[in-house]
């Protein structure tokens, strides 16, 4: 049954008529035209759909939209500000951390979520934060380098 | 146009976010052409394309059984379900109903016979994806179920093949085997692999104002999809336009198997007159599409006391699934690579294409080559144990060398020095022998944890073995602001092809990379293209783009020589060049320089064409199937990897602790992209041989149908030490694009070093006297079972020895 829900996405308020069990991913992509988050597996297992809910990483493909009412949702499109790209996005460009690019939304949002509560995480913490995001191209080395760079590990030490 | 744009203020400068890179011609490590779009979410994939509000969504009705006859398909309730717009079965197909890409055998929908779980019975179009999926469940399906053939070895014994058997023979292999001092006889099972492209199969079709369609598809072969859609709709090819901007991964899984969804969506789009969208749910995607072929390999190989191969008899059985698809060429490629980097001697190689009741297995990075190579890499380890040498020593002795440099299909291996250099340099860089000693010592003192080390080389043939596919086209436009559009037949799936092609054009025209933009692959821009496959994307399309750019350059030189500085006798045509955004004529201080924009505008005003189409076809290649001899490959790409593993022999769990790679890309077109391909190929190859296990139940239903049950490598699987280098100083011996080499597939096979290292660790349980059979994927379960088997044999052997001692 359709209900009218008020969502806060990327600092903007939206009123949407939708069945409350509809996934957040569906609403973001189909109703709000926010295509940063991707459909990968639909099971919350690959991470391609990751968004931030109150700054924490969440999997939009298994989250009912009603669950985020009253919370701040941020998508990849909401990371950049008037001053420019988020430092995590810049780090991913600088490290050339994309092959096909489809997993990148999840990687960037997961790193952003980690940095939100720990601006200088250890390399181990970064690897742990990304462990459940899948990348099929095998771009793991560059993605890790980008995450390390965003977290301020600029040293040339071993990459992994 | 009536007036030209003002080019005095050059606008092609700094873009958002990152500094502009200095000149990015070929050879430079310029970032991916979509880098900024990737990180901001503006890179558009198929499911991101905005469709009209009245677009319809497709869901598929799939067979629940592997083999049988469809006796009843009642779709009345489906048609009556809420939101349903259209329902189609095979009787609704206006044209061809068989969409086999090379050979017939792939019905678009089941007519009578059902051949696998997941085969398409019907399609539903509805106002929403959810409505379509709910409607599918209303179907009444009755099937006369029959026993499914799921064992390819049994199928081969019964002569059930999707294509005829092919045999390659060199010399009197039988006599060699009879006279060989040692003979090794083994068999192995090499598992398949799910592509798991992160973006699943997806397609959007819009009807056009005439009888045609525009197809947006995540697809490695737009021209073939154009053909199949036209044939299914029974319309001319020119009424179908296929567009492909980028894929979220392909890996071979979208070479032939992206077409069925386009065909189905096109039929619906024509019937309803509405834009039609299809995107397979992940579990369906994994069930309905084919995978890398599992192989059953058997081999008898004769060798001398030094472990050098004399000859033998090799048989490969590819599990093709229910239809031919690309299996003829895939099993051929397994046969072509049964030697990997080693001279086999006098040998017979036989390839069977077994038919089973599973999805039709298809292209996957390496295209059968990896499955073929597993034979000889297994044999190298086995022979080493038998002659009591380190496996690396035996591998080096068997590498192609002068006097032993012709393959079993008659092609000469040209870059022998390169092959040996790679192995020797990597041996030194990875400190192989010191680590070997340390590991042997460690294992002697560690009863449970065993370490293993292995170096495996790669020699991979580059070219489509279907000769006619080795061609490419490109279309280059120069606009009057000086900006350049390049379009070509290749598709971008993350391999960096578009970036490389832009670099080629920038280099030929002496322009900054910012001036060159690539546009989506479209069948109405460059026609009759080949799939982006066989690692050949940059080789073929790079050359075609270069051809187009060269034509423009020469045309502009001719124009400039006649047009500029007429009063001074014109410009010297001979020494002209394009560099740093200028045409330069003459040398030193007397050189004349004409800015690119000015040159282009002058040419336009003088009615000179600023557009060119380029073409390329690979020279030299041929293969005669009757004699099974020829030169199917333009050249070989090489590489080698050293992997070290640490195995818990009581649980079977293991870690890959260090990997060193040295890989040959000739003179690299883009080192950053190539390194990424090498790393990614290795990781995917490692996944194939270790954690990625496909499981079917007894009824032929795939049960590993999602990321929770099918494990691809993740960050935790990355080796803590991972050194990757490109081989320097060996340009391609053939005149490939700037003497570079293809890089898509070859590094995939570097993953074999991990599997060989696991066998090395296990072999230590026997004092390196035996090497266990280790089928793949070598999951912890398989490693544990191999360890247990070795321990049991050791115990028996020890008991026998003790008994003998007693008797003595």
pLDDT in tens, A39-72: 999 999 999 999 999 999 999 999 999 999 999 9
Asked if B718 and A144 come within 8 Å (Cβ–Cβ), the reply is: yes
Measured between CB atoms, does A125 come within 8 Å of chain B?
no
Task: Provide mean pLDDT across the span B155-171.
Answer: 98
Show the tokens assigned to A50.
């990751």
C-alpha–C-alpha distance, residues B292 and B366, integer Å: 9
User: Contact, B762 vs B450, CB < 8 A?
Assistant: yes
Name the residue among A23, A43, A13, A24 with its Cα closest to residue B196.
Answer: A43
Closest residue of chain A to B128, computed from CA coordinates: A30
C-alpha–C-alpha distance, residues B297 and B295, integer Å: 6
User: Contact, B757 vs B453, CB < 8 A?
Assistant: yes
Q: Which residue has 């489509």 as its token pair?
A: B464
Measured between CB atoms, does B48 come within 8 Å of chain A?
yes
DSSP letters for A98-113: -SS-TTHHHHHHHHHH
In this complex, the residue of A85, A102, A127 whose CB is nearest that of residue B715 is: A127
- In what helix (H) or strand (E) does residue A150 lie, and over which residues does it extend? helix A140-150
Would you tell me which residues 37-96 of chain A have a C-beta closer than 8 angstroms to some C-beta of chain B? 37-43, 45-46, 48, 75-77, 80, 84-85, 89-90, 92-94, 96
**Residues B781 and B766 both lie in one domain:** yes
Residue B50 located in a structural domain: no
Measured between CB atoms, does A28 come within 8 Å of chain B?
no
Q: Which residue has 């996944």 as its token pair?
A: B687
Lowest-confidence region among B590-594, B637-641, B775-779: B590-594
pLDDT in tens, B557-610: 999 999 999 888 889 999 999 999 999 999 988 899 999 999 999 999 999 999
- Residues of chain A contacting residue B44, judged by C-beta atoms under 8 Å apart: 35
- Output A135 or B806, whichever has higher pLDDT: A135
**Residues B660 and B675 both lie in one domain:** yes
Q: How many Cβ pairs within 8 Å bridge chains A and B?
A: 175
Residue B15 located in a structural domain: no
Q: What are phi and psi of B21, to 5 degrees?
A: -75, 150
pLDDT band at B15 (very low <50, low <70, confident <90, very high): very low
Q: Is B544 helix (H, G, I), strand (E, B) or coil?
A: helix
**Residue B9: per-residue pLDDT:** 56
B745 is catalytic: yes
User: Contact, B478 vs B611, CB < 8 A?
Assistant: yes
C-alpha–C-alpha distance, residues B623 and B281, integer Å: 41
Show the tokens assigned to B599.
């040159």
pLDDT in tens, B265-290: 999 999 999 999 999 999 999 999 99
**Residues B521 and B499 both lie in one domain:** yes
User: Contact, B205 vs B265, CB < 8 A?
Assistant: yes
Q: Which residue has 């075609």 as its token pair?
A: B544
Would you tell me which residues 534-593 of chain B have a C-beta closer than 8 angstroms to some C-beta of chain A? none
CATH number for the domain that contains residue B765: 3.30.365.10
What lies within 8 Å, CB to CB, of B463 at 6+ separation is: B470, B534, B536, B618, B621, B632, B633, B634
| Domain residue limits at B710 | 415-468+621-808
Q: Is B13 helix (H, G, I), strand (E, B) or coil?
A: coil
Under DSSP, the state recorded for A30 is I
User: Contact, B232 vs B177, CB < 8 A?
Assistant: no
* Residue B684 CB neighbours (<10 A): 25
Packed helices B369-387 and B327-336: angle between N→C axes, nearest 10 degrees: 30
Would you tell me which residues 255-284 of chain B have a C-beta closer than 8 angstroms to some C-beta of chain A? 279, 281-282
Asked if B39 and A98 come within 8 Å (Cβ–Cβ), the reply is: yes
Task: Provide mean pLDDT across the span B390-394.
Answer: 98
Annotate A53-100 with three-state secondary structure: ECCEEEECCCCEHHHHCCCEEECHHHCCECCECCHHHHHHHHCCCCCC
**Residues B453 and B483 both lie in one domain:** no
Measured between CB atoms, does B658 come within 8 Å of chain A?
no
Of B589, B745, B801, B802, the active-site residue reads B745
On the question of pLDDT at B804 being above 70, the answer is: no
User: Contact, A79 vs A90, CB < 8 A?
Assistant: no
Beta-strand runs (E) in B413-527: 449-462, 471-478, 484-488, 516-518, 521-522
Residue B498 located in a structural domain: yes
Name the residue among B645, B643, B642 with its Cα closest to residue B443.
Answer: B645
What lies within 8 Å, CB to CB, of B414 at 6+ separation is: B635, B636, B733, B734
Q: Is B329 helix (H, G, I), strand (E, B) or coil?
A: helix
C-alpha–C-alpha distance, residues B372 and B344, integer Å: 13
- Residues of chain B contacting residue A92, judged by C-beta atoms under 8 Å apart: 38-39
- Residues of chain A contacting residue B41, judged by C-beta atoms under 8 Å apart: 34-37, 75-77, 105
pLDDT in tens, B546-570: 999 999 999 999 999 999 998 888 8
- Residues of chain A contacting residue B719, judged by C-beta atoms under 8 Å apart: 160
Terminal C-alpha separation, chain B = 104
Asked if B36 and A144 come within 8 Å (Cβ–Cβ), the reply is: no
Show me where the domains of chain A are located: 3-78, 87-150
- In what helix (H) or strand (E) does residue B370 lie, and over which residues does it extend? helix B369-387
Asked if B672 and A96 come within 8 Å (Cβ–Cβ), the reply is: yes
**Residue B17: per-residue pLDDT:** 34
Measured between CB atoms, does A102 come within 8 Å of chain B?
yes
C-alpha distances in angstroms, B717 versus A134, B171, B278, B713? Answer: 12, 44, 34, 6
Q: What are phi and psi of B247, to 5 degrees?
A: -110, 150
CATH fold of the domain at A87-150? DNA polymerase; domain 1 (1.10.150)
**Residues B523 and B502 both lie in one domain:** yes
Show the tokens assigned to B498.
């578009």
On the question of pLDDT at B761 being above 50, the answer is: yes
On the question of pLDDT at B20 being above 50, the answer is: no
Q: Choose one of B596, B617, B638: the last residue of a domain.
A: B617
Q: Which residue has 């597996």 as its token pair?
A: A41
In this complex, the residue of B195, B494, B718 whose CB is nearest that of residue A99 is: B494
Q: Which residue has 């949407």 as its token pair?
A: A16
In this complex, the residue of A99, A130, A158 whose CB is nearest that of residue B721 is: A158
Residue B102 located in a structural domain: no
Task: Provide mean pLDDT across the span B441-460.
Answer: 98
Asked if B34 and A45 come within 8 Å (Cβ–Cβ), the reply is: no
- Sheet containing strand B182-190, strands side by side: B161-170, B346-354, B309-319, B295-303, B182-190
Name the residue among A144, A150, A35 with its Cα closest to residue A89.
Answer: A150
Measured between CB atoms, does A9 come within 8 Å of chain B?
no
Asked if B199 and A134 come within 8 Å (Cβ–Cβ), the reply is: no
**Residues B532 and B461 both lie in one domain:** no
Name the residue among B341, B342, B216, B191 with its Cα closest to residue B269.
Answer: B216
Show the tokens assigned to B229.
């859609």
Q: Which residue has 């071979």 as its token pair?
A: B252
**Residue B14: per-residue pLDDT:** 36
**Residues B484 and B450 both lie in one domain:** no
C-alpha–C-alpha distance, residues B600 and B511, integer Å: 13
Measured between CB atoms, does B493 come within 8 Å of chain A?
yes
Measured between CB atoms, does A32 come within 8 Å of chain B?
no
Measured between CB atoms, does B32 come within 8 Å of chain A?
yes
C-alpha–C-alpha distance, residues B762 and B243, integer Å: 51
**Residues B546 and B598 both lie in one domain:** yes
Task: Provide mean pLDDT across the span B423-433.
Answer: 98
**Residue B646: per-residue pLDDT:** 98
What lies within 8 Å, CB to CB, of B80 at 6+ separation is: B138
pLDDT band at B796 (very low <50, low <70, confident <90, very high): confident
On the question of pLDDT at A159 being above 70, the answer is: no
Task: Provide mean pLDDT across the span B409-426.
Answer: 98
Measured between CB atoms, does B730 come within 8 Å of chain A?
no
**Residues B456 and B559 both lie in one domain:** no
- Residues of chain B contacting residue A85, judged by C-beta atoms under 8 Å apart: 16-17, 39-40
Would you tell me which residues 181-210 of chain B have a C-beta closer than 8 angstroms to some C-beta of chain A? 195-200
Asked if B16 and A98 come within 8 Å (Cβ–Cβ), the reply is: no
Taking the CA of residue B560 and the nearest CA in chain A, the distance in Å comes to 39
Q: What are phi and psi of B370, to 5 degrees?
A: -60, -40
pLDDT in tens, B185-238: 999 999 999 999 999 999 999 999 999 999 999 999 999 999 999 999 999 999
Instruction: Provide the β-strand partners of residue B207.
Output: B213
C-alpha–C-alpha distance, residues A94 and B414, integer Å: 38
**Residues B644 and B743 both lie in one domain:** yes
- Residues of chain A contacting residue B716, judged by C-beta atoms under 8 Å apart: 127, 131
On the question of pLDDT at B11 being above 50, the answer is: no
pLDDT band at B23 (very low <50, low <70, confident <90, very high): low
Would you tell me which residues 678-697 of chain B have a C-beta closer than 8 angstroms to some C-beta of chain A? 679-684
pLDDT band at B808 (very low <50, low <70, confident <90, very high): very low
Instruction: Provide the β-strand partners of residue B232.
Output: none
**Residues B552 and B631 both lie in one domain:** no
Sign of CA dihedral B596, B601, B607, B613: positive
Q: What are phi and psi of A138, to 5 degrees?
A: 75, 40
**Residues B454 and B509 both lie in one domain:** no
Q: Over the Cα atoms of chain B, what is R_g?
A: 29
Closest residue of chain A to B37, computed from CA coordinates: A101
In this complex, the residue of B48, B247, B679 whose CB is nearest that of residue A138 is: B679
Name the residue among B151, B130, B427, B99 with its Cα closest to residue B267.
Answer: B99
Sign of CA dihedral A4, A7, A13, A16: negative
In this complex, the residue of B39, B48, B684 whose CB is nearest that of residue A35 is: B48
On the question of pLDDT at B22 being above 60, the answer is: no
Taking the CA of residue A13 and the nearest CA in chain B, the distance in Å comes to 20
In this complex, the residue of B248, B250, B708 whose CB is nearest that of residue A43 is: B708
Q: Is B40 helix (H, G, I), strand (E, B) or coil?
A: helix
Asked if B38 and A36 come within 8 Å (Cβ–Cβ), the reply is: no
**Residue B230: per-residue pLDDT:** 98
Q: What percent of chain A has pLDDT over 70?
A: 96
C-alpha–C-alpha distance, residues B790 and B652, integer Å: 13
**Nearest 5 degrees, angle CA A158-CA A134-CA B281?**
170
- Residues of chain B contacting residue A145, judged by C-beta atoms under 8 Å apart: none
- Structural domains counted in chain B: 2
- In what helix (H) or strand (E) does residue B125 lie, and over which residues does it extend? strand B120-126
Asked if A100 and B246 come within 8 Å (Cβ–Cβ), the reply is: yes
Sign of CA dihedral A147, A99, B691, B428: negative
- Output B647 or B19, whichever has higher pLDDT: B647
- Residues of chain B contacting residue A159, judged by C-beta atoms under 8 Å apart: 722
Q: Choose one of B617, B652, B674: the last residue of a domain.
A: B617
Taking the CA of residue A24 and the nearest CA in chain B, the distance in Å comes to 15
Q: Which residue has 């390819």 as its token pair?
A: B152
Could you say which architecture CATH assigns to the domain A3-78? Roll (3.10)
C-alpha distances in angstroms, B60 versus B123, B204, B260, B265, B757? Answer: 5, 15, 11, 11, 44
pLDDT band at B12 (very low <50, low <70, confident <90, very high): very low
pLDDT band at A156 (very low <50, low <70, confident <90, very high): low
In B374-396, which positions are buried (b, 16+ CB within 10 angstroms) versus exposed (e)? Answer: bbbbbbbbbbbbbbebbbbebbb
Q: Which residue has 């049964």 as its token pair?
A: B338
**Residue B19: per-residue pLDDT:** 36
Q: Choose one of B602, B617, B632: the last residue of a domain.
A: B617
Terminal C-alpha separation, chain A = 49
């Amino acid at each position: 049954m359709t209900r009218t829900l008020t969502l806060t996405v990327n600092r903007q308020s939206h009123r949407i008529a939708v069945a409350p069990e509809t996934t957040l991913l569906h609403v973001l992509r189909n109703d709000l035209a926010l295509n940063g988050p991707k459909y990968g597996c639909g099971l919350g297992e690959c991470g391609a759909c990751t968004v931030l809910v109150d700054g924490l990483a969440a999997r939009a493909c298994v989250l009912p939209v009603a669950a985020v009412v009253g919370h701040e949702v941020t998508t990849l499109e909401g990371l950049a500000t008037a001053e420019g790209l988020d430092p995590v996005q810049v780090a991913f460009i600088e490290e050339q951390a994309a092959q096909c690019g489809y997993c990148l939304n999840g990687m960037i949002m997961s790193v952003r979520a980690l940095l939100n509560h720990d601006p200088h995480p250890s390399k181990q913490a970064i690897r742990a934060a990304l462990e459940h995001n899948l990348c099929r191209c095998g771009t793991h080395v560059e993605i890790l380098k980008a995450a390390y760079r965003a977290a301020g590990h600029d040293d040339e030490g071993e990459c992994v | 146009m009536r007036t030209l744009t003002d080019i005095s203020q050059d606008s092609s400068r700094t873009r958002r976010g990152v500094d502009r890179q200095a000149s990015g011609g070929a050879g430079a490590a310029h970032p991916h052409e979509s880098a900024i779009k990737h990180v901001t979410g503006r890179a558009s994939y198929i499911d991101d394309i905005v469709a009209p509000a009245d677009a319809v969504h497709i869901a598929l009705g799939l067979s629940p059984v592997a083999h049988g006859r469809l006796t009843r398909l009642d779709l009345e309730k489906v048609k009556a379900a809420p939101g349903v717009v259209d329902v189609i079965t095979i009787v609704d197909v206006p044209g061809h109903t068989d969409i086999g890409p090379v050979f017939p055998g792939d019905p678009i929908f089941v007519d009578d016979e059902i051949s696998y779980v997941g085969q398409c019975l019907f399609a539903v179009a509805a106002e929403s994806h959810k409505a379509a999926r709910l409607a599918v469940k209303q179907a009444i399906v009755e099937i006369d179920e029959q026993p499914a053939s799921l064992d390819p070895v049994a199928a081969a014994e019964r002569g059930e093949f999707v294509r005829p058997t092919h045999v390659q023979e060199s010399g009197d292999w039988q006599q060699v085997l009879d006279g060989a001092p040692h003979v090794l006889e083994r068999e192995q099972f090499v598992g398949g692999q799910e592509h798991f492209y992160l973006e699943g199969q997806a397609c959007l079709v819009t009807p056009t104002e005439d009888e045609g369609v525009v197809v947006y598809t995540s697809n490695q072969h737009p021209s073939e999809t154009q053909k199949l859609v036209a044939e299914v709709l029974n319309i001319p090819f020119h009424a179908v336009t296929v567009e492909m901007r980028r894929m979220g991964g392909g890996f071979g899984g979208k070479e032939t198997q992206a077409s069925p969804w386009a065909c189905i969506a096109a039929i619906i789009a024509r019937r309803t007159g509405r834009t039609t969208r299809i995107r397979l749910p992940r579990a369906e995607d994994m069930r309905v599409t084919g995978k890398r072929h599992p192989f059953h390999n058997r081999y008898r190989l004769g060798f001398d006391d030094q472990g050098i191969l004399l000859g033998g008899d090799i048989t490969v059985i590819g599990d093709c699934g229910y239809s031919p698809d690309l299996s003829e060429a895939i099993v051929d490629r397994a046969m072509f690579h049964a030697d990997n980097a080693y001279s086999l001697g006098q040998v017979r190689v036989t390839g069977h294409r077994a038919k089973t009741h599973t999805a039709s297995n298809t292209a996957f990075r390496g295209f059968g080559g990896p499955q073929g190579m597993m034979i000889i890499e297994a044999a190298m380890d086995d022979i080493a144990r038998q002659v009591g040498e380190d496996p690396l020593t035996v591998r080096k002795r068997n590498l192609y060398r002068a006097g032993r440099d012709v393959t079993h299909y008659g092609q000469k291996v040209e870059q022998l020095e390169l092959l040996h250099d790679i192995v020797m340099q990597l041996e030194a860089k990875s400190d192989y022998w010191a680590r070997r000693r340390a590991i042997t010592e460690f294992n002697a003192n560690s009863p449970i944890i065993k370490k293993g080390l292995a170096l495996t080389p790669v020699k991979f043939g580059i070219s489509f073995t279907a000769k006619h596919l080795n061609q490419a086209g490109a279309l280059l436009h120069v606009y009057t602001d000086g900006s350049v559009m390049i379009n070509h037949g290749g598709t971008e799936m993350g391999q960096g092809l578009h970036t490389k092609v832009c670099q080629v054009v920038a280099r030929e025209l002496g322009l900054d990379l910012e001036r060159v933009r690539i546009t989506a692959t479209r069948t109405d821009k460059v026609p009759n293209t080949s799939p982006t496959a066989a690692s050949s994307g940059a080789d073929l399309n790079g050359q075609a783009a270069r051809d187009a750019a060269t034509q423009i350059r020469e045309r502009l030189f001719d124009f400039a020589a006649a047009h500029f500085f007429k009063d001074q006798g014109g410009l010297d045509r001979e020494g002209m060049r394009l560099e740093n955004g200028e045409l330069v004529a003459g040398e030193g201080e007397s050189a004349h320089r004409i800015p690119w924009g000015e040159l282009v505008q002058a040419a336009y005003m003088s009615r000179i064409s600023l557009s060119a189409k380029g073409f390329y076809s690979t020279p030299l290649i041929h293969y005669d199937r009757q004699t099974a001899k020829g030169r199917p490959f333009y050249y070989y790409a090489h590489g080698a990897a050293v992997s070290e593993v640490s195995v818990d022999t009581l649980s079977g769990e293991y870690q890959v602790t260090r990997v060193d790679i040295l890989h040959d890309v000739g003179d690299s077109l883009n080192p950053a992209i190539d390194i990424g391909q090498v790393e990614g190929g290795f990781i995917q190859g490692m996944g194939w041989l270790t954690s990625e296990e496909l499981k079917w139940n007894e009824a032929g239903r795939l049960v590993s149908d999602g990321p929770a049950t099918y494990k691809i490598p993740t960050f935790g699987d990355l080796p803590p030490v991972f050194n990757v280098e490109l081989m320097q100083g060996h340009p391609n011996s053939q005149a490939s694009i700037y003497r570079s080499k293809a890089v898509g597939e070859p590094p995939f096979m570097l993953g074999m070093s991990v599997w060989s290292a696991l066998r090395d660790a296990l072999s230590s349980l026997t004092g390196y006297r035996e090497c266990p059979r280790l089928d793949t994927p070598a999951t912890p379960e398989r490693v544990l079972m191999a360890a247990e088997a070795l321990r049991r044999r050791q115990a028996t052997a020890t008991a026998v020895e003790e008994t003998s001692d007693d008797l003595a």
